A and B are shown apart, each in its own frame.
Chain A
Amino acid sequence: MDRSRILSNVWLAAGLVALNVVLFNLIMEPVNALRLDTTQGKIYSLSPVTKRIIRNLDEKVRIRAYISSMDLVYEQLRPLVPEILNLLDEYAVASDGKVIFERIIPEDDPAAEKAAQAKYGITATPYVFQDQRQKGVRSFYFSIVVEYAGTSPTTVSIDDLVEPDIFDPAEGQRLKLKNVEYAVTRAIKKSVEEFESRRDVFQRFPHKAVVRTYITPKEQLPEILKEVPEISDKVLSDLAKASNGKLEYIPVPVPEDPAEQRRKAAELNVSPIPFTRDRDIYLWATLEIDGKLYAVMPLMDLESGVGEFALRQAFEQVFRRLTPGMQRVIGLAQDMPKQDPMASAMGRPTPPPRFGEIGKRLGEDYEVRNIDLKTLNKVPADIDLLLVMGPRSLTPEAVFAIDQYVMRGGRAIFAVDRTDVELMNWGRLMGTAAKTGLEDLLGRWGVTLSEEGVFDEACGVFPWPDGETPPGRRPALSDHRWASLPLVGDVPGGVQRDHPLTSNFEVARFWYPSAIETTDVDGIETTWLLRSSPRAWTAPATSFEPDFARHPLGFPAPGDDERGRHVFAVALRGTFKSWFSDHDVPRKLDEDTASSDGKKEENGEADGDKKDAAKGNGDDAKTQEEKKVVSAPLTQSRPTRLLVIANDDFVDDFQAVTAQWGMPLSFYRMNARFFAAAVDWMLQDEDLQAIRNRGRSYRPLKPIEEPTKKTIIFWNFAAPLILLVLLGLGLMAARANRRPMI
């Protein structure tokens, strides 16, 4: 064979092999089933729960990821995009064709961008970022829309997908993915539920509704609002048609004459919107329920215009809210801040409630209703789960209300402790013993909270001044380990792994918790869930002022014989006896009952037969008898479950604020995650709970002193280098020995 022939054969072979390699990899590219997730808990794979949910869907689910092109997305988010898209891809693969996934780059597809805004209310979201080089706001698309059966869209926003990670001094705030599977599966479930409930909403809607629109004609509206009349007409006509006559839609024309316009507006209880100096416009809808004005709704949002999606959502939410049993309701019972007349006169807003952030977080999944513990005398009947947060000296009426709520089979979480700790300023910490008012009630169910706080060697860190601060100077803070901030889940035997709520529990940090002691009560099964290390102890509330100069953990520690484990959380299940079965009903309620027919009806829920028996008697003696019967409390509950957490501070807004100071100081996210999982468990959405608890992202290092750190770093550098030198010397010696003798 001549040389040139061989040469060309070599080139040909090289080309063909290269082509084969590329083709092989291109063919393999769509095959995404061959992967091995090596992480503990398989955190990068779909869970069996999600796979079961998506395979059992009756209709098709369409998942659309609206994510801008990489150049528009904030740099820190870019590496996270492929992870999200891969996982969404896996939904499609695992669903046997039930899930269709597509990624849309809105900027490249103006029609899709417009449709996203109109149909789903998706717009480029301003994202505030800060890193070493820059700080600012950037707008881009970063949302996922899940649609079931072509309707019921649910949006997963950037906040559901991403959260701040550690603060890197070199690169600024790093970001990491949240539990994307949880967010997407939750959206699928929500979408399915909405689809089902939408089918039912008007069938179960118990009222007669009338919607009147009062909208300036299209040609007189500014460009950005020109679509409003058409969209609102379409949405409301559709809803009226689907309502089986329960919703009437009446468009009220806006007259030509301005004076007539205003008169008509006043009649409808709406006001003119100034547009130009001599012209007003009207974009209103009024909603009447059973002949009474229920809401006046503006049909515009000047920032983004009005969308079909937003409008439909707004109306459907109203109807759902007015239809009993359409959404799970959580009662967030806490001491609501009082409005100070002086402060409001000076324009100062009322301070937010103490558990506002956790309420907001839970509001993503449930309807959260605030309940003021100070004035509580009856828990509304439609509350599915009651959260009793940080109660202080509850009134007997409030205790009665909670007791009777449980007797009706209601579920409740108590976040309670018996110490008040106030951070006065960077130098004083006030600790006082407090009463919850629930001591007797919880005691009846076998739960006692210690008056003393728990201190533990397994504890978190918190910044604190190192010494005396000269007047007018900012104190120098450094991180100290605080025995009064027990870190739960970080020590062996601290978590009940056999319980569904805590089987995958990561970690939580409590703040001056009480200790729970339990006693056996007939009919109640008690399970401890979280407890301290065996090196914990209790001390009175007055000893909360740390002294790091004298004690490494801030507080004097007792000897080994006074130490032991202390329980922080217990789950109770069974039938509960009322405290009021052998104690008097609070007098005020008794009087109220006697004076109010309405109250009779409410208490009648507790004992319908007795109420019926008492009805219709006219004489005084019988009326007195009736009062007693009507006010008689339920004495034993239906089977239900309760959760008691011996700390109220761990999810309050102060923790949320410290979370913004940067990791690893704050455990708010971990605490809130545990609390949200507890809510899911209490409401028995065990599917979501199983996904929420998947994996384990928090793996803390053992606390070590600074010199030890330096030693570890030194040996990590030095050991391989020393070994290398020894190897070199050994090889040199071996070579010298092998050198032939001349």
Chain B
Amino acid sequence: MSRVLVLASKEFKSYFNSWLAYVFIACFVTVSMLAHFYWGEFFGTGRADISPFFRSLPLTLLILVPGLTMRQWARESEMGSIELLMTLPAQGWQLVLGKFLGTLGLVAVALLCTAGIPLTAAWLGDLDWGPVLAGYLAALLLGGAYVALGLFASSWFREQFLALIGSAALCSLFGLMSWPKVLGWASNISETAVSVLGFVGFYGRFEAIQRGVIDFRDVAWYLSITALFLFFNVCRLHLRRLA
């Protein structure tokens, strides 16, 4: 496990050695603040409620996370360093988990940078901290799932740009599947379609957790999808080694 942590730490630091971490965090914080203070009318509603910020997260993460994951395997392939990586005395799952944790660490730092939002609400009113903590948990679970999907997509491409498109497409598939508008369209087809999309999609489950109800089924689904795509990623590395 220590090898995983070393790899994760290396990935995490490498983000800060480039502009990527700074651009990602700056964009994330700016969009979150805009969503909370302006689009969500925090002061206009006059309530110690930060749900507008949480409601913006599925889309913000969906747009920004593929930008982080695109460089992972695709960049290694582009620069030819993947062959070097394969020769390391680390197993495939350790490489994948290291990259995953490194990237998730950056997402966590970005989320930490929004701490001003709940702190402001708590300073100005009687904030219910339960849904806030649940909201951050939901954001980490969603961020983790997007990172796993993005890493998997990235492992199939040699160009970063294509990896970005692939990651975004895969994340959107899961992320937007249970979006209310999509469910609305699906209901024109059949109620079964609505149930399937609601079950598979991330949005509905995120909404449930961020309002303060941590349901085992929602957490299990996020963790399952994350684990599944990390496993796929390991398989993909295995196939690469064989190639």
Q: Are A44 and B213 in contact, CB atoms less than 8 angstroms apart?
A: yes
Q: Check B116 against A720 for contact (C-beta < 8 Å).
A: yes
In this assembly, does A540 line the interface, its C-beta being within 8 Å of a C-beta of chain B? Answer: no
A80 to B208, CA, bound (A): 11
Q: Is the CB of B130 within 8 A of A39?
A: yes
- Which A residues are in CB contact (< 8 Å) with B45? 166, 663-664
| Set of chain B residues within 8 Å of A79, measured between Cβ atoms | 180, 207
- Cβ of B107 under 8 Å from chain A: no
- Let me know if A700 and B44 touch, CB within 8 A: no
Within 8 A of A (CB), among B96-131: 113-114, 116-117, 120-121, 124-128, 130-131
Q: Is the CB of B224 within 8 A of A24?
A: yes
Q: Are B224 and A702 in contact (CB under 8 A)?
A: no
Chain A residue nearest to B34 in the complex (CB): A717
Binary per-residue interface labels of chain B (162-191) against chain A in the complex, 1 for a CB within 8 Å, 0 otherwise: 000000000000000000100111111001
B184 touches which one: A36, A44, A75, A701 (CB < 8 A)?
Answer: A75
Question: A14 near B231 (CB under 8 angstroms)?
Answer: yes
Q: How far is the CA of A3 from the CA of B26 in the complex (A)?
A: 47
Q: Closest Cβ of chain A: how far from B27's Cβ, in Å? A: 11
**Please, how many angstroms separate the alpha-carbon atoms of A728 and B232 in the complex?**
35
Distance (Å) between the CB of A577 and the closest chain B CB?
A: 43
Q: Which of B39, B204, B224, B238 contacts A10 (CB 8 A)?
A: B238
A44–B231 alpha-carbon span in the complex (Å): 35
Given contacts A6-B242, A38-B134, is CB(A71)–CB(B187) below 8 Å? yes
Given B124, B133, B225, which contacts A701 in the complex, CB threshold below 8 Å?
A: B124
Query: Interface stretch among A26-34, A307-315, A451-459, A555-563?
Result: A26-34
B239 touches A7 (CB 8 A): yes
Distance, CA A3 to CA B241, complexed state (A): 11
Given A82-B204, A700-B48, A702-B125, do A34 and B215 touch, yes or no (CB 8 Å)? yes
A74-123 contacts to B, CB under 8 A, are 75, 78-79, 82, 86, 105, 108
Contacts of A36 in B (CB 8 A): 213-215
Q: Which of B30, B194, B220, B228 has a CB less than 8 Å from the CB of A28?
A: B220
* B43, chain A: closest CB distance, angstroms: 5
Instruction: Write the chain A residue with the least CB distance to B231.
Output: A17
Q: A31-B216, A702-B125 are in contact. Are A44 and B211 (CB under 8 A)?
A: yes
Beta-carbon contacts under 8 Å, B210-243 to A: 211-217, 220-221, 224-225, 227-228, 231-232, 235, 238-239, 242
A713 contacts across to B, CB distance below 8 A: 33, 37
Q: Is B161 interfacial (CB 8 A cutoff)? A: no
A493-551 at interface with B (beta carbon < 8 Å): none
Cα distance A324–B30 in the bound complex, in angstroms: 66
Least CB distance, A77 to chain B, in whole angstroms? 10
CA distance A721 to B217 in the complex (A): 36
Q: How far is the CB of A506 from chain B (nearest CB, A)?
A: 11
- Is A134 interfacial (CB 8 A cutoff)? no
Confirm or deny: B83 has a beta carbon within 8 angstroms of a beta carbon on chain A: no
A624 proximal to B (CB < 8 A)? no
Chain A residue with Cβ nearest B121? A701
Q: How far is the CA of A17 from the CA of B226 in the complex (A)?
A: 12
Closest Cβ of chain A: how far from B228's Cβ, in Å?
Answer: 5
Are B130 and A720 in touch, CB under 8 angstroms?
no
A37 — nearest CB in chain B belongs to which residue?
B213
Q: A75-B180, A720-B116 are in contact. Are A14 and B128 (CB under 8 A)?
A: no
| A733 to B130 CA separation, bound complex (whole angstroms) | 40
Q: In angstroms, how far is the closest chain B Cβ from the Cβ of A493?
A: 14
Tell me whether A699 and B49 are in contact (CB under 8 A). Answer: yes
A715 interface contact, C-beta 8 A: yes
- Answer whether A704 and B187 are a contact pair too, CB < 8 Å, given A82-B204, A731-B16: no
Cβ contacts under 8 Å, A35 to chain B: 213-216
* A69 CA to B44 CA, complexed, in Å: 33
Given known pairs A24-B224, A701-B46, A712-B120, the reply for A14 and B235 (CB within 8 Å) is yes
Residue of A nearest to B48 (CB): A699
- Which residues of A are found within 8 Å of B41, using beta-carbon distances? 166, 168-169
> Is A699 a contact partner of B221 (Cβ separation < 8 A)?
no
B14 → chain A closest CB, angstroms:
12
Say whether A40 faces chain B, with CB atoms less than 8 Å apart: yes
B29 on interface, CB distance cutoff 8 Å = yes
Residues of B within 8 Å of A259, CB to CB, are: none
Query: Is B199 part of the binding interface, using a Cβ–Cβ cutoff of 8 Å?
Result: yes
Which residue on chain B has the smallest CB distance to residue A664?
B46
Q: Which of A25, A38, A696, A716 contacts B37 (CB 8 A)?
A: A716
For chain A, give the interface size range.
35 or more
Residues of A within 8 A of B211 (CB): 39, 44
> Are A715's CB and B220's CB within 8 A?
no
Say which residue of B114, B125, B212 sits within 8 Å of A37 (CB atoms): B212
Chain A residue numbers with a CB within 8 Å of B188 are 71
Given contacts A44-B212, A702-B124, contact A724 B26 (CB under 8 A): yes
Residues of A within 8 A of B239 (CB): 7, 10
| Contact partners of A10 in chain B: CB under 8 A | 235, 238-239
Contact assessment for A29 and B199 in the assembled complex, using a CB-CB cutoff below 8 Å: yes
Does chain A have a CB within 8 A of B10?
no
B22 touches A728 (CB 8 A): yes
Q: Is B62 part of the contact surface with A, judged by Cβ < 8 Å? A: no
Any B CB within 8 A of the CB of A381: no
Known: A39-B131, A78-B180. A724 touches B37 (CB 8 A): no
Shortest beta-carbon distance, A697 to chain B, in Å?
9
Q: How far is the CA of A24 from the CA of B162 in the complex (A)?
A: 33
A40, B242: Cβ atoms under 8 Å? no
**Nearest B residue to A704 by beta-carbon distance?**
B124
Q: Does A587 contact B (CB under 8 A)?
A: no
Q: Separation in Å of the A737 CB from the closest CB of chain B?
A: 15
- Given A13-B235, A25-B220: A700 touches B125 (CB 8 Å cut-off): yes
Interface contact A71-B47, CB-CB below 8 Å: no
- Report the separation of the CA atoms of residues A719 and B215 in the bound assembly, to the nearest whole angstrom: 34
Beta-carbon nearest neighbor of B215 in chain A: A35
A723 and B133 alpha carbons, distance in the complex (Å): 23
Within 8 A of B (CB), among A131-179: 166, 168-170
> When the two chains form their complex, are residues B128 and A40 in contact, meaning their CB atoms are under 8 A apart?
yes
Give the Cβ gap from B195 to chain A, nearest Cβ, in Å.
10
Q: A31–B29 Cα gap in the complex (Å)? A: 37
**Choice from A7, A21, A715, A728 contacting B224 with Cβ under 8 Å:** A21
Nearest Cβ distance between residue A181 and chain B, in whole angstroms?
Answer: 14
Tell me if B22 and A21 are in contact (CB < 8 A).
no
Q: Is B25 an interface residue (CB 8 A)?
A: yes
User: What is the chain B residue whose CB lies nearest that of A709?
Assistant: B43
The CA of A226 and the CA of B45, in the complex, are separated in Å by: 53
CA gap between A25 and B227 in the complex, in Å: 13
In the complex, whether A49 has a CB less than 8 A from a CB of chain B is: no
Please, what's the 1-or-0 string for A703-742, where 1 marks a CB less than 8 Å from any CB in chain B?
0100001001101110111011001100100010000000
In the bound complex, residues from chain B placing their C-beta under 8 Å from that of A14 are: 231-232, 235
Are A32's CB and B124's CB within 8 A? no
Chain A minimum-CB-distance residue to B46:
A664
A29 to B217, CA, bound (A): 6
**Complex CA distance for A24 and B223, rounded to whole angstroms:** 12
| Residue contact B212 to A699, C-beta cutoff 8 Å | no
Q: List 8 A-B contacts (CB under 8 A).
A: A6-B242, A21-B224, A25-B217, A36-B214, A82-B204, A166-B47, A663-B45, A700-B48
Sample of 13 more A-B contacts, CB < 8 Å, known A7-B239, A70-B180, A728-B16: A7-B242, A10-B238, A21-B228, A25-B220, A37-B213, A38-B131, A166-B41, A169-B44, A700-B46, A701-B47, A721-B26, A721-B29, A731-B16
The 3 closest A-B pairs by CB, nearest first: A38-B130, A34-B216, A720-B113
